[in-house]
Amino acid sequence: MFINFRQSFLAVTFGVMGLVACSGTSTAANSITTIGDKTKIVAGNKTFEVDKGFVFEVNQGSRKKVEQFYDPDFVKNSYAKQNNTVYRLVPGYGKLKVQRSFNEGFESGSNVRDLIGPEHNWTSMTIQGKASPDVQSYVKLRHDVLKGKDFEDNRLDPSNTKKHAGSKSLRAITKAASSGLSVNKASIDSELVYFTKGDDFWFSGWFYIEKGKPTSIIDLESTYMVQAPGIRVMLDDDLRPSVELKFAHKPTFNMASGKDYSMPTGKWVFVRLHIYLMDSDAGRVRLWMDDQKLIDQAGRTLTLFDAVYNSLQVGITAAPAAIETIMYVDDVRLSDVGL
């Protein structure tokens, strides 16, 4: 089984509320700047530095340690390079080649368990709902489902109900919860991806929104950092797309002037995304839907100068808790050289 591998990727200190992560601070950061091997964040009248895994508050030349943001030895201990190939080091599984490209049509299984494992493109899934509202409960649910138990409310399944090509697609369902839940999730994940500064991240896939309002559909993250910051494709209440750097003050890449596009429901939509990863304004985001270029904007696309984006989530990566959302995904492609 592949369960220990999946669980090992969740060794993140969720009990610490990161001042510089994607949420959990009452002061919005005004800027993010790389200075040598440190990242400087200005938040109102406060200044912070991220340095070798720790957050420091800087005041009149002195630094006060605030919290640990990530394990500074994570990358060194988790990856190895051999003959220009990068491998993920996983206890119990040895060396696994990282993913920089793949094609996925969701044809190979009758349930989501058949899509997940070292011989497939996916290593895990995220199912957060009323029955599994927090990290501890959805990790347990994932473990149980991968052992053979059925889902409790939100779910992921290969489906022949709707498909763009072939005989199947992946169906994601998040159920409405009347109270006690802030967000719904049902995504399939790979924590074998590996993208760093200077890389080109290319993604394409077909999406079909049957009902509801997913608020994000593609997430590229660093799971070893508090709250897994990264960059993601967002949809607003009217299903208008944007791309957000989920870090500090959440810089957002919006549609170009004169564009007014909402992702339609009840039909297949082709989504293509290109992100040039940089820790400065030299980064770039381009997003197409149905072959219309909606976003083409420069800006910071990497959280920290040495960050590894090691997780890709696809599906209903977030949705409102109060309504049911159903979405299908098909013919996903990942590349580092263009699509």
Q: What's residue 21's pLDDT?
A: 54
C-alpha 262/C-alpha 260 separation (Å) is 7
The residues spanned by each domain of the chain are 99-335
* Alpha-carbon span 41 to 57, nearest angstrom: 10
Q: Are 57 and 46 in contact (CB under 8 A)?
A: yes
- Reported as a single tens digit per residue, the pLDDT across 247-282 is 988 999 999 888 899 999 999 999 999 999 999 999
Indicate whether 116 pLDDT > 90: yes
User: What is the structure's pLDDT at 92?
Assistant: 82
pLDDT of 19 over the 80 cut: no
102-104 and 252-253 as β-strands: parallel, antiparallel, unpaired?
Answer: unpaired
2 pLDDT above the threshold of 50: no
CA-nearest of 117, 116, 183, 121 to 154 is 183
Confidence of residue 29 (pLDDT cuts 50, 70, 90): low
Residue 4 pLDDT greater than 60, yes or no: no
pLDDT at 209 over 50: yes
CATH of 99-335 given 1.10.3720.10, 2.60.120.200, 3.90.1150.10, 2.40.50.180: 2.60.120.200
Res 11: pLDDT: 33
pLDDT band at 327 (very low <50, low <70, confident <90, very high): very high
Provide the whole-model pTM.
Answer: 0.91
Helix (H) or strand (E) holding 219: strand 216-221
Task: Let me know the angle formed at the C-alpha of 95 by 119 and 315, rounded to the nearest 5 degrees.
Answer: 45
Can you give the length of the chain in residues?
Answer: 339
Q: How high is the pLDDT of residue 308?
A: 98
The candidate with the shortest Cα–Cα distance to 323, out of 184, 162, 188, 218, is 184
Residue of 19, 17, 20, 51 lying closest to 34 (CA atoms): 51
Among left, alpha and beta (phi > 0; psi -120 to 50; other), residue 7 is alpha
pLDDT value at 166 more than 80: yes
- Tokens representing 185 are 């999730």
pLDDT band at 78 (very low <50, low <70, confident <90, very high): very high
Tokens 């964040």, residue?
41
Q: Which residue has the higher pLDDT, 323 or 118?
A: 323
Considering only residues 68 and 131, tell me which one the structure prediction assigns the higher pLDDT.
68
Residue with tokens 């897994």: 228
Residue 210 DSSP SS3? strand
Model confidence pLDDT, tens digit, residues 134-164: 888 888 998 888 888 999 999 999 999 999 9
- Averaged pLDDT for residues 65-76: 95
C-alpha 184/C-alpha 321 separation (Å) is 5
Query: Is residue 22 scored above 80 in pLDDT?
Result: no
